[in-house]
Amino acid sequence: MKTRITTLALASMALLSASAKDRMTHDPAATNEDVILHAWSWSFPEIGANMQKIAEAGYTMVQTSPVQACLTPEAGNTKLFDPTSKNGNWYHYYQPTDWKIGNDIVGTRDELKAMLDSAAKYNVRIIVDVLPNHTAFNVDLVSDDMVKAVGGRDKLYHSNGLQPIRDYNDRLQCTLEGSGGLPDVNTENPDFQRYYMEFVNDLLNLGVRGFRYDTAKHIGVHSDPVDTASGVKENDFWDVATGRKAVKGVKLAVPYEDLFVYGEILQDKNVPEAEYADYMGQTASSYGYILREILEKHNANGRDLSNWEHSAAPEYLTTWVESHDTYCNHHESASMSDDLIRTGWVFLTARQNGVPLFFSRPMNSTRDNYWGDNVAGARGNDEFFHPEVAAVNRFRQAMKGQKEDLQKSENGQVLLVNRGKKGAAVINISESANSVNLPTGLPNGTYKDVVYGKEFKVKGGRLTGIAAPLRTYILVKK
């Protein structure tokens, strides 16, 4: 079948609704208080059993792994990683076989409901990782129910959807061909949209209150090429997914403004960030790269850490020190020690903007054994409730309305995040102890760190003290 592609001339701005949110213009007074725990590969029962600990550690949201039916080997998905794949792999749940709730890693629909009920008791919102962009490599595994619902297998994929992307900076390939070689779903097919939105509404009706859209930049916006060979007239998936329009009588079940939604829109050339910002928050992937770079060098000199490296307003960015992709795919962050990751987390979370996401590493993982106990569905290690992590999570919420001021030592090894005249976070990213002598807005006096009781003094607008190696301190005005 020959593929004929046309590009719409109309800009996405023509489709802005009166209620559209401006996510491109920064409000200097805006402060973010939310903190996300990425309970990566935890099952619903594990998340529910740890909900009190999660809430006490200061998280306001939990992001689950994908919950839809997925590739399942005969022995089941029992391991996070198995080079033979016979006992599963973490990326199997990124290979959907149907858009219905439940798989053998996270659990059943009933277990999801029980977990959501637990979250509600602790005022923690649950967001789900969803991935409408693609299916499993083996298209024969896709359920007959979905194939029938979308009008047949030919209607499930874009006309070149089985062709792997060769140039990720080519928006035609990026949005209409297979990301990572995975078959590219025709997300503009109204029958698919209806089927997918029934899945989304089932999640919402159970109590889910947000989504992380996997490979979001691979689903086209209005300025992107249109796959007319598949009968597509416009790239309207995001209009449907965000509740701006109904599809075949089905519309988003709750007001979109009541949800927390962000897209995995990894930064690169030719990504229409402004158009995606019209629909959702985005990932600050470039900033995460820079932050890891300074952490690994134990030195922030030569980098402007106040610059979020993104065109969208920082209050609408989801931020991280590492993500499950940086940890798992090529292990670019996996060699970093838990202590080093923690210093980055405290710096990131103490800041005024961004919505930080804490990736939960596997239980008993080490820098020699990234998979640790290697059990799919198990809880992650203890780092998510480490006293320093919990302290900065709570600090973030206590600093509502307080503007940030970032400082660093002359040697680039000590970072200071001042929040108005109310608080400060001291971060030593060095493997050696460091003297601290930096400007602060805190009033004169002696301050004790909330975790270790370590004393710092403020006099004449200067904060002084000694910071231990790879240690962070939270100081709050009484």
Tell me how far apart the alpha carbons of residues 21 and 260 are, in angstroms, rounded to a whole number.
13
Helix (H) or strand (E) holding 204: helix 190-206
Residue 56 annotated as catalytic: no
| Closest CA relative to residue 392, chosen from 403, 381, 384 | 384
Distance CA 152, CA 3 (A): 18
224/284 Cα distance (integer angstroms)? 22
- How far is the C-alpha of 351 from the C-alpha of 404, rounded, in Å? 6
With contact defined as beta carbons under 8 Å apart, do 355 and 36 qualify?
yes
Catalytic residue flag (residue 264): yes
The structure tokens listed for 63 are 């992001």
Specify which residues 283 forms β-bridges with. Answer: 318
Structure-token pair, residue 91: 């990326």
Token look-up 């701005």 returns 13
Tell me the C-alpha distance between 333 and 369, whole Å: 13
Buried b (16+ CB within 10 A) or exposed e, 362-383: bbebeeeebbbebbbbbbbbeb
Which residue, 471, 356, 265, is CA-closest to 31? Answer: 356
* Catalytic entry in 129, 214, 275, 383: 214
First to last CA, the chain: 71
Separation CA 186–CA 407 (nearest Å): 48
Q: CA torsion, points 295, 297, 299, 302, in degrees to nearest 10?
A: -110
Specify whether the CB–CB gap between 309 and 293 falls below 8 A: no
Q: 3-class SS at 473?
A: strand
User: Which one, of 436, 375, 397, lies nearest residue 35 by Cα?
Assistant: 397
Reported as type and span, the H/E element at residue 424 is strand 423-428
Answer positive or negative: Cα dihedral of 135, 140, 145, 148.
positive
Contact 423, 399 (CB under 8 A): yes
Classify residue 306 by burial, with Cβ atoms within 10 Å: 0-12, 13-18, 19+.
exposed
Q: How many CB atoms lie within 10 A of CB 301?
A: 12
Catalytic one of 184, 224, 264, 278: 264
The answer to whether the CB of 286 falls within 8 A of the CB of 309 is yes
Which residues are the active-site residues? 214, 264
